[in-house]
């Protein structure tokens, strides 16, 4: 039997990230200062972001070296395994070959530490003493907590209220690594107090939590803000995922015809797919790339492609992206990490230019796919990742109809160990089909 897992040695781990900004046929539309509508200057971002991250956000360099200290921490779990889903293929009866990259093996259980470690590192280098952030399902908050712990930086997490109560043990994990976490909207910020007064029963949203975290960073010295997705530098740091898969495919006789990732802010999707898009742009390959989002929060499939704010308080620069409007509050679906009104400008541009497809699924069919996966491949997936699984299953079933032996790769962005209450609702038939 062929290998089940394709592994890389630590010595084979990529030592640089790939920056797609160098390969776009035309420059990405720049972020704008909302007051002037002029492209924002790096210095205007310095109150909230580390300088090196601002530099990476706008860098024209195709490859950016990964500092040794970051590589050493990555090695706690990286390179992550690439799995051939033999058992899932058999259950589906498909001639397709299904592979998945297992990013659930990080201590925080998702791909998020790939950028969290980098962001904490550069902040440490520049003397940051405290980092604030938001978190949806808690994947990002726990990843940043882990990362700040390694560089002795204080970390404060604003967690979307619906997830704070749906996923109590993600809070515990954030505490375990030493960060503090409170539900958002919170009474600790001016914006939070305003929302609480206006909508006391709100579920919260990533947009609100971002506003609160930025407010704290903007008002305090040596305090910076970190974003877990959307921005160019988060996509950059995640490219280690796709770069590793390319090295792993070199060890097989396969190469993906289709690459799939779920899309909230867009970073895990960008991470797995950008190196393949690089090769598409270079004319070497013609790989289909598919972004998968929840029907309840369909920015790529139903949003408008326009400049919009990244947060609800309209404090961020304007980003050119697919958006449902910065005031949009999505239903409290269980894939909390995908409850964002916008999408990464890089991903948005790729979709707008036809270099990436997008589709959406409803919540119940996502959980159907998650259970099929857990009972074949073993791993209990995060509801977010189950969007990618559902799409991979659909593509594999199409191959069953046509008889095509396509190779399908999806990114298993995280495990569902902290999402079991959602599975309970699914099995009890109480899950709403948003």
State the binding string over 326-355 for its own copies (x if CB under 8 A, else -).
Answer: ------------------------------
Q: Is 309 in the site for its own copies (CB under 8 A)?
A: no
Report residue 16 as tokens.
């640089």
Angle between helix 139-150 and 113-125 (nearest 10): 40
Say if residues 211 and 160 touch (Cβ distance below 8 Å).
no
Pairing of strands 97-102, 63-65: unpaired
Report residue 166 as tokens.
């749906």
* Backbone torsions φ then ψ of 127, nearest 5 degrees: 85, 15
CA-CA-CA-CA dihedral for 290, 382, 110, 99, to nearest 10: -50
Q: Is 424 in the site for its own copies (CB under 8 A)?
A: yes
Stretch that binds its own copies, among 102-110, 184-192, 225-233, 239-247 (CB under 8 A): 102-110
Cα–Cα distance measured from residue 248 to residue 251, given in angstroms and rounded to the nearest whole number: 5
Return the bridge partners of 140, or none.
none
Coil, strand, or helix at residue 50? coil
Show contacts with its own copies in window 51-80 (CB under 8 A): 72, 75-77
Say if residues 226 and 6 touch (Cβ distance below 8 Å).
no
- Of the residues 34, 47, 95, 107, which one makes contact with its own copies according to CB under 8 A: 107
Q: Is 423 in the site for its own copies (CB under 8 A)?
A: yes
Whether residue 226 has a cis bond before it, omega within 30° of 0 = no
Q: Is 91 in the site for its own copies (CB under 8 A)?
A: no
Cα–Cα distance measured from residue 45 to residue 55, given in angstroms and rounded to the nearest whole number: 10
Cα–Cα distance measured from residue 315 to residue 324, given in angstroms and rounded to the nearest whole number: 17
Q: How far is the CB of 133 from its own copies (least distance, A)?
A: 19
Stretch that binds its own copies, among 30-38, 256-264, 272-280, 423-431 (CB under 8 A): 423-431
Counting residues that bind its own copies (by CB under 8 A) gives 43
Q: Is 7 in the site for its own copies (CB under 8 A)?
A: yes
State the binding string over 351-380 for its own copies (x if CB under 8 A, else -).
Answer: --------------------x--xx-xxxx
- Of the residues 4, 15, 180, 402, which one makes contact with its own copies according to CB under 8 A: 4
CA distances from residue 370 to 6, 385, 416 in whole angstroms, order as listed: 22, 8, 10
Q: How far is the CB of 21 from its own copies (least distance, A)?
A: 31
Report residue 399 as tokens.
């191959």
Q: How far is the CB of 131 from its own copies (least distance, A)?
A: 17
Q: Is 90 in the site for its own copies (CB under 8 A)?
A: no
Q: How far is the CB of 277 from its own copies (least distance, A)?
A: 30
Q: Is 24 in the site for its own copies (CB under 8 A)?
A: no
Judged by the rule CB under 8 A, the positions of this chain that interact with its own copies are 1, 3-5, 7, 9-10, 72, 75-77, 83, 87, 105-109, 146, 149, 168-169, 172-173, 175-178, 371, 374-375, 377-380, 415, 417-418, 420-421, 423-424, 427
């Amino acid at each position: 039997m062929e290998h089940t897992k394709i592994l890389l040695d630590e010595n084979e781990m990529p030592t640089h990230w790939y920056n797609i900004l160098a390969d776009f046929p035309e420059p990405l539309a720049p972020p704008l200062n909302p007051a002037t509508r002029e492209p924002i200057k790096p210095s205007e971002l310095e109150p909230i972001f580390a300088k090196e991250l601002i530099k990476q956000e706008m860098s024209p360099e195709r490859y950016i070296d990964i500092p040794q200290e970051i590589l050493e921490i990555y090695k706690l779990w990286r390179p992550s395994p690439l799995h051939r889903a033999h058992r899932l293929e058999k259950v589906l009866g498909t001639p397709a070959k299904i592979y998945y990259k297992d990013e659930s093996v990080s201590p925080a259980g998702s791909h998020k530490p790939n950028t969290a470690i980098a962001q904490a590192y550069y902040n440490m280098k520049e003397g940051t003493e405290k980092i604030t952030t938001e978190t949806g399902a808690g994947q990002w908050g726990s990843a940043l907590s882990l990362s700040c712990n390694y560089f002795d930086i204080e970390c404060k997490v604003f967690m979307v209220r619906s997830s704070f109560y749906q996923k109590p043990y993600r809070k515990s994990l954030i505490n375990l690594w030493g960060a503090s976490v409170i539900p958002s909207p919170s009474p600790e910020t001016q914006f939070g107090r305003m929302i609480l007064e206006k909508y006391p029963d709100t579920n919260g949203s990533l947009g609100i939590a971002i506003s609160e975290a930025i407010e704290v960073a903007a008002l305090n010295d040596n305090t910076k803000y970190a974003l877990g997705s959307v921005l160019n530098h988060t996509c950059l740091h995640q490219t280690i995922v796709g770069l590793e898969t390319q090295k792993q495919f070199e060890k097989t006789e396969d190469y993906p015809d289709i690459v799939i990732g779920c899309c909230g802010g867009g970073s895990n999707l960008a991470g797995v797919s950008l190196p393949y898009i690089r090769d598409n742009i270079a004319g070497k390959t013609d790989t289909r790339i598919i972004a998968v989002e929840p029907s309840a929060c369909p920015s790529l499939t139903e949003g408008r492609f326009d400049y919009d704010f990244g947060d609800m308080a309209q404090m961020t620069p304007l980003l050119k992206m697919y958006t449902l409007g910065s005031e949009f509050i999505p239903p409290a679906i269980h894939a909390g990490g995908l409850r964002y009104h916008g999408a990464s400008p890089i991903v948005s541009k790729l979709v707008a230019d036809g270099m990436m497809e997008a589709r959406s699924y409803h919540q119940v069919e996502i959980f159907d796919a998650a259970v099929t996966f857990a009972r074949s491949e073993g791993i209990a997936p995060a509801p977010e990742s189950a969007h990618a699984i559902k799409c991979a299953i659909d593509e594999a079933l199409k191959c069953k109809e046509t008889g095509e032996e396509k190779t399908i790769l999806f990114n298993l962005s995280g495990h569902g160990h902290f999402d079991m209450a959602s599975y309970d609702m699914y099995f009890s038939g109480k899950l709403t089909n948003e």
